Each structure stands twice: as C-alpha cells, then as structure tokens.
Structure 1
Amino acid sequence: MTNPAIPGFILTSPDIDTVALIAHKHVYNGFGYDGENVSPALEWRGAPSGTKSFALTVHDPDAPTGSGWWHWVMVNIPVTTTALPQGAGNLETGKAPQGARQIATDFGEPGWGGPCPPKGDEPHRYVFTLHALGVEALDLPENATPALVGFNLHFNTLAKASFTARFGSK
C-alpha cells in the first residue's frame, strides 16, 4: 500500500502549536525532565470512505538510537471517533476511546510518553500520524511492539494525516 495523503484528511491539536515548542505539560517526567507527561488533545476530519478504524503513532525520528523513538501508539480506535481528549494517552485517566488499545512504546509501557530529548540537543521533531485503516481492528499479540504495529499499518492504511511538533532544551 502507498498510504497516500488525502486532501481534506487532517490531524490537528488544540494543545500543540507547530511553530512553538511543545508545552511543559506534555513533556515526559524523567530522563532529566520534570514535565507533567499529559498527552495532548487531538482532532481529525476528512477520513476517506472505507475507513473502518484508526491508529495513532507519535515518533521522534531524531532520537539518538538509530531507529528513532516511539512516544505513543494507539490502535483500534473506533471509526466513530474524531478526537482524543487531553490525557487520553494517560492510562489512569480512562479517557481513551472504548475498544482502543495502547501499545508499549520505547519507554517500555503503553500510553503517552512525552518529549525528552537528551539535554543540549537541538529540538527534536515529534511526528504525530493518524492512520485511517481498512480494517476494524489490528489483530496484534499482547506483547506487540511499535515495529510490529508499523508492519500491520503498512498493509492496512488507506490514508495518513500528520503534523510535526518540536521540543528541545537547547
């Protein structure tokens, strides 16, 4: 699948200004940061016909790992969902849509893990991507990794909508 961008399929956030740095509220609490680690609210519209569910990924391609860093992976988001409230990525809030599943990120746990690039690095990019899927749910094992999710997204994505935000301490 080519996973094309579809005009009118748009992902935005009322909490993230893509020109300014990501706010402290959304920054990770760890790795030398004292952020609040609250996932930002997200909104979308214009999914293509045939969409049966959504998946969300947030990836830092600038992390010094050789493969980037997965900050949030949520799959099986019901097709009737058009927004995630602030805190939906924080498991203890219960704000994720019913039926959605959060996958363990590179922090080793499911749910939102906010920005936390190495101190002194230039600001890193955080790519928020919403995938419109042609299946109602991805059939993933309990211990699925972001890479396995990505493999499944490759074969089931009808279209993608994304934006990039930045955060760094330099």
Structure 2
Amino acid sequence: MVPDESDASGGLSLRSPAFDDGTEIPRQYGYTNQNTSPPLEIENVPANAESLALVMDDPDALEPAGKVWDHWVVWNVDPATAHIEEGDVPAGADEGTNSYGQRGYGGPNPPDGEHTYRFVLYALDTELDLEPGATKSHLERFVEGHVLDEARLTGTYAP
C-alpha cells in the first residue's frame, strides 16, 4: 500500500511520547499488563487528506503462527487529529477486530522472545465505508488506491 510517489508529500509523521522509533514499547502497553494503547503524535498530514487509518501489527508472529498478528485497526480518524491520547480512540473513528478476536487495541504479547511491532498511519483521500469490527485485510482492500502518504513507527516488546 505504498503511495504513488508522484502524489506523496513524503512528510506524514507518526511518533509516540512513550517510546522512540525502534526502541522498547513500555510494559504497560502489553496485552497481559494494562493493555492500553500508547499515545501517538501525528504531523504533516497532506492538506487533501479526507481521513486517516492506523494499523498496528507484529510481522515477527509469522513463526510459529504463520501470519502477521494484527493488534489494532482504526479508520476514519479526522485528518486534523494531532494527538491520540493513551488508551483512547479519536472521536468519530472506528476500530476493527484484532487477531485476538476482539474489537479495539490488543497489546504486544509475544510468546517466544522479542518481536518488532509496526504502527502504520495512512493518509487517505476518502473516508472508509467499512463495517464495524472489520479486520485489517478488509481495511487494506478499501484503502488500495486511496493512500496519499504513510508513516511508520516501530517498537520492540519481549515477554
């Protein structure tokens, strides 16, 4: 879902005041701890964005689970959103079903050592007409061809 380079501003930014890119995600955000989503900061949303979508997943879950584990799927975030507070979902946004089979955030819980977690933010040229509780695969189909820009934040977590 890489944006068309001719249309991408390249400036969209996603950060967290709780951890730096590539560093350890604090324990309280883990599934077996407080299981609350970390605070996020968004900057440089393209002026023509109609909505934002956010996905958190764990590509290291491929072994032994055999698939990327989805932890959080959020869409129709207002493009004027600059902060997502800890444990919060922006007003008007929808949350999907994670790989735990629950709607909303499901924190890191690697069974076999340190995993890397990706937060991917998409600036979209449309709002998404998804059913409540949709999965990441549904979101990915709907955003195809609508991504203006994207930003990534990664963190690690170990049991």
TM-score (norm. length: structure 2) = 0.89
Give aligned-pair identity as a percent: 36
Deviation by residue 1:3-43 (Cα, 9 ceiling, x = unmatched) = 256432110000123353211110102xxxxx111110000
Give the TM-score, by structure 1 length: 0.83
In 2 relative to 1, CA 157–25 (structure 1 residues): closer, same or farther, beyond 3 Å? same
Q: Show the counterpart of 2:87.
A: 87
Q: Specify whether residues 17 and 2 from structure 1 end up closer, same or farther in structure 2 by C-alpha distance, changes over 3 A only.
A: closer
Q: Map Cα deviations across residues 118-161 of structure 1 (whole Å, 9 max, x no partner).
A: 1xx231110001100100x2011235221111111222211100
Structure 2 CA distance for aligned equivalents of residues 122 and 111 of structure 1: 24
Note the alpha carbon deviations across 1:55-94, whole angstroms, 9 max, x for none: 0000100113222100001100012211100011xxxxxx
What does residue 157 of structure 1 align with?
A: 147
Distance 2:123 2:150 in 1: 6
Gaps of 5+ in 1: 30-34, 89-95
What one-letter code is carried by the residue in structure 1 that aligns with 2:145? F
Which 10-residue stretch deviates more, 125-134 or 45-54?
45-54
Which residue matches 1:92?
Answer: none
Query: What's the Cα RMSD here?
Result: 1.7
Quick one: distance in 2 between partners of 1:116 and 1:6?
35
Aligned to 1:99: 92
Mapping 1:3-152, distance limit 5 Å: 3=3, 4=5, 6-29=9-32, 35-63=33-61, 64=63, 65-88=65-88, 96-118=89-111, 121-135=112-126, 137-152=127-142
